[in-house]
Structures are given as structure tokens and as C-alpha cells.
Amino acid sequence: MPNRHVINETIAAYANAAIDGAYAAGGKEAVVEVRNQMLEILGFMSTNIDLRLACDDEGYTPEERESIVRGVFGSYNELLVNLLVVMASRCDINMLRRVYAKYEELTETKLNFNIVDVTTVVELDDNLRTVITEKAESDLGRDCLLVEHIDPSIQGGIIMETRGRYVDASVRSQLDRARLVLKEKTDGGEC
Amino acid sequence: MNATVSKFVRNCTSGVVAFAAASAVCPMSAFAEESGAGIEAILPQMEEFIPMLVAFIILWIVLAKFGWPKFEGMLEKRENTIKNNLEKAEEARQESERLLAEYQEQLEHAKAQAQTMLNNAQKSGEALEKEITDRARTEADAMIEKAKVAIEAEKRAAIKELQDSMADTSIAVASRLIGEDFSDEEHRKLIERYVKEAGNLNA
């Protein structure tokens, strides 16, 4: 079992390869696309243990593992698929989540921009995109690219998130806070 | 003195017995000449009196020599027996008096002890009664206090439940109103306002 420095170096190598390849291929948009697809793959693997185990199973040959990865994720960005193939051939798929975290870190430290996930109930118009981007860039002090998500369950408002930093200005959270205040309020009663 | 009297009585008795025996042995009629008159009618005839006297004396000597010692032995034995019995009776009486006194003492002691026990029992009973009463009162107070606490807790829980229910209902109504009544444009305006009011993303 390699020590943690070797593992960290391996993860950094994967992340650098991915971000450099993506940036070279399509600039920031490609970086964002790879990042989003990596996130999707992580979500998929977290709900499919058999697939995750199979990709790291030394009982299969490297070619068989490559075939599995290409068969499942073949429609994704080619750069990302190639990265996954290499990782699978070396039984390193279990490092993908840490590779993703490193990838996000590199977008900030290496490419000097942030990918901001924005969740709303309705689609953003250009005006809102501008307002939100300006707000994010003002807060973070660097360029920002928005990744938009539509989620009716937030009931309104907006949620912004980048690398674990979070602003929840959704109606759902406002209502939850109001509910909490109402439930904890004791004025006007005997208790 | 008693011995002298006893001997005198013994001799007289022997004489009487000897006389009676002599009369029986010599059944000659002493008053054969009853037909005589005057004082002679009661005086014995000498020819009868002397043999009778001789017989009497002989008999007296014989009885005094042989009969009396046995009789005296019997009397002595009887006397000793009676004396012993009297002594025993006296001892028994003294013993019974002693026992009686002892029993009385024991009885008094027992009475005193019983009285003490009775007093103690009475005191214990009173103490026990007080203890039971106090304990019952304490338990009753505790139960009442517990019931009050439980009632208060139930009341608080009911009020909290009602409050929560009202809050949930209010929020549900608000959610529904926002979800149904807000147009896309209104949502966008809300987003813009929230973005401007939101805290720092880098905080």
C-alpha cells in the first residue's frame, strides 16, 4: 500500500492531467464541463456499488476494466473517459472523489477562476446571470463561471455554492427559519 | 416432766388393764353376797380381794415388763412420725410461703414487665402510626407533585404540538401561495433581491 504522499501525488497528477487537458481543449467552458460530468459520475458511482467495485477489481484484466468504463461512460467527454480508463486500469477509481476535489482546487489556484453552482426555481435570464456573476466575483475576488441548476423544491430564491462555501437565500430556507422561529416563539402563551 | 407424766399414765393404764384382766381371769363374783345389807354390800370380801389383788399385781408386772415397752415403742414411733410429719408440714409450709413470695415477686415483676411492654407497645404503636401517617402524607404529596409535573408537561407538550402544528400549517400555506402565485418574473425579481441582500460567498 503506497504512503499518503504517493497517493496525493497520484491524485494531483490525475487532476492536473484532467484540468490541463480540458483547458487546452476548450478553455474554461471545457473545464466546467469536465467538472460537471465528473460530479455526475461520482453521483452515479455512489449509488452503484457493483460498478465501483468492478472498476477497481483486480480479478478483471485492465482491458476488461477499460471496457467496463468505456461501456458505461462512453458518452461523456473523451478526455474524462480517457482519464477514467487510465484510473480503472490502475485500480484507482476509488480516488475519483479526491481527484474531483483537487480538480476544483486547481480551477481556483491554477486557472484563477471559480465555478459557482447556482440553484433556482426558474431559469436565469442574462440580467440575473450578470448580477449573480458580479456578486460572486465581488465576493471571491476572481473570475466566476456559473453552473445553473433548476430545483423547484427550493420554492424560490437562490442557492450559491463554490468549493464548500455556501449562500442559501432560498425561499425554502427562509420558510424553515420562519417555521423555527414560530415553533420556538413563546410570547402570548402560557409556556 | 413429760416423761414423768407419761410414765404415770403408763403405769395407771397398766394397772387398769391389769385389773380388767384379773377380773376376767378370776370371774368370781365380787358381789356374790349381794344379798348382804348395809355397807358390807359395797365392800369386797377379803378372801376374794387378795387373790384378785395378787393377780392384778402379777399382771401389772407382766404387762409393765413385756407389754408396755412395745406399746411405748409404738407410741414413740407414732410420735416421731407425727413429729416428722409436722416438721415436713412446717417445711412444706415454709417452702410454699417462700414459693408464694417468689411467685408473687415474679408476678409483680411480670406485671411490671407487662405494663412496661404495654407502655412500650403503646408508644411504638403511636410512633408507628405517626410514621405511617407521615409516610402516607409524604407519598401523597409526592404523587400530587408528580401528577402536577406530569400535567404541566402534558400541557406544555399539547401547547407545543399546537404551536408546531400552527407553524407548519402557516408555512405550508405560505409555501403554497408562493409556489402557485409567483410568476417566473416575480421569482427572478425575488432572486435579484436575495442576491443583493445575501451574505458574502467567501465568508
Mutate to test the interface with A, among B151, B194, B196, B200 (most CBs of A within 10 A): B194
Please indicate, yes or no, whether residues A81 and A129 belong to a single structural domain of this protein: no
Chain A residue at shortest CA distance from B179:
A155
Q: Of A79, A93, A73, whose CA–CA distance to A18 is shortest?
A: A79
Q: Test B163 with A120 for CB contact under 8 angstroms.
A: no
C-alpha cell at A184: 420556538
- Domain boundaries, position A151: 113-184
Is residue A50 over pLDDT 60? yes
Q: Are residues A8 and A97 in the same domain?
A: yes
In angstroms, the CA A182 to CA A71 distance is 53
Nearest to B187 among A121, A172, A182 (CB): A121
Residues whose CB is less than 8 angstroms from the CB of residue B22 and which lie 6 or more positions away in sequence, other chains included:
B52, B55, B56, B59
Which candidate, A151, A171, A86, places its Cα nearest to that of B172?
A171
Same domain, A77 and A37: yes
A189 inside domain: no
Residue A103 and residue A118 share a domain: no
Tell me what the mean pLDDT of segment A113-136 comes to. Answer: 92
Q: What is the pLDDT of residue B25?
A: 53
Same structural domain for residues A134 and A170?
Answer: yes
State whether A81 and A135 are in the same domain.
no
- Which positions ≥6 away from A132 have C-beta within 8 Å? A116, A118, A124, A146, A158, A160, B195
Distance CA A41, CA A33 (A): 12
Reported for B149-157, long-range contacts at CB under 8 A and 24+ positions apart, including other chains, are: B155/A190, B155/A191, B156/A191
Q: Is A157 exposed, middle or buried, given 0-12, 13-18 or 19+ CB atoms closer than 10 A?
A: buried
Query: What is the reported pLDDT for A1?
Result: 64
**Cβ pair A165:B156 closer than 8 A:** no
| Cα B202 to Cα A144: distance, rounded to the nearest angstrom | 13
Q: CA-nearest residue of chain A to B194?
A: A169
| pLDDT tens profile B42-93 | 777 888 888 999 999 999 999 989 988 888 899 999 999 999 999 999 998 8
The confidence score (pLDDT) of residue A179 equals 85
Which of A133, A175, A176 has the highest number of chain B CBs within 10 A, making it the mutation to test binding with B? A175
What is the number of domains present in chain A? Answer: 2
Confidence of residue B16 (pLDDT cuts 50, 70, 90): low
- Do residue A95 and residue A120 come from a single domain? no
Model confidence at B22: pLDDT above 60: no
Compute the Cα dihedral for A138, A139, A140, A145 and give only its sign.
Answer: negative
Burial class (CB in 10 A: 0-12, 13-18, 19+), B125: exposed
In-domain check, residue A190 = no
The Cα A152–Cα A95 span in angstroms is: 33
Q: Which three cell numbers stand for residue A59?
A: 480479478
Does residue A125 belong to the interface with chain B, where contact is any CB pair within 8 Å? yes
Residue B50 corresponds to which cell in the numbers above?
A: 387378795
For residues A98 and A174, membership in a common domain is answered with no
Q: Are residues A87 and A144 in the same domain?
A: no
Let me know whether A140 and A163 are in one domain.
yes
Supply the mean pLDDT for chain B.
82
| Pair (A102, A68) in one structural domain | yes
- The Cα–Cα gap between A132 and A148 comes to 11
Q: Which residues contact A185 (CB under 8 A, 6 or more apart)?
A: B163
Mean pLDDT of all residues in A71-80:
90
Cβ-defined contact of B164 to A190 (cutoff 8 Å): no
The reply to whether A17 and A102 lie within a common domain is yes
- Give the lowest-confidence range in A20-34, A97-111, A129-143, A172-186: A172-186
- A contacts of B175 (beta carbons < 8 Å): 155, 171-172, 175
CA distances from A114 to A99, A105, A160, A165, A169 (A): 17, 9, 12, 11, 19
Looking at CA atoms only, how far is residue B146 from chain A in angstroms?
A: 18
Q: How far is B173 from chain A (nearest CA, A)?
A: 11
Is A125 in Cβ contact with B191 (below 8 Å)? Answer: no
Residue of chain A minimizing CA distance to B161: A183
HSE at residue A5, side-chain half, CA atoms within 13 A, is 0
Q: Which residues pair with B142 in a beta bridge?
A: none
Contact criterion met (CB < 8 Å) for B175 and A169: no
CA distance B154 to chain A (A): 11
Smallest CA–CA distance from B170 into chain A, residue: A179
Rounded to the nearest angstrom, the minimum Cα separation between B195 and chain A is 7
The predicted structure's pLDDT at residue A3: 82
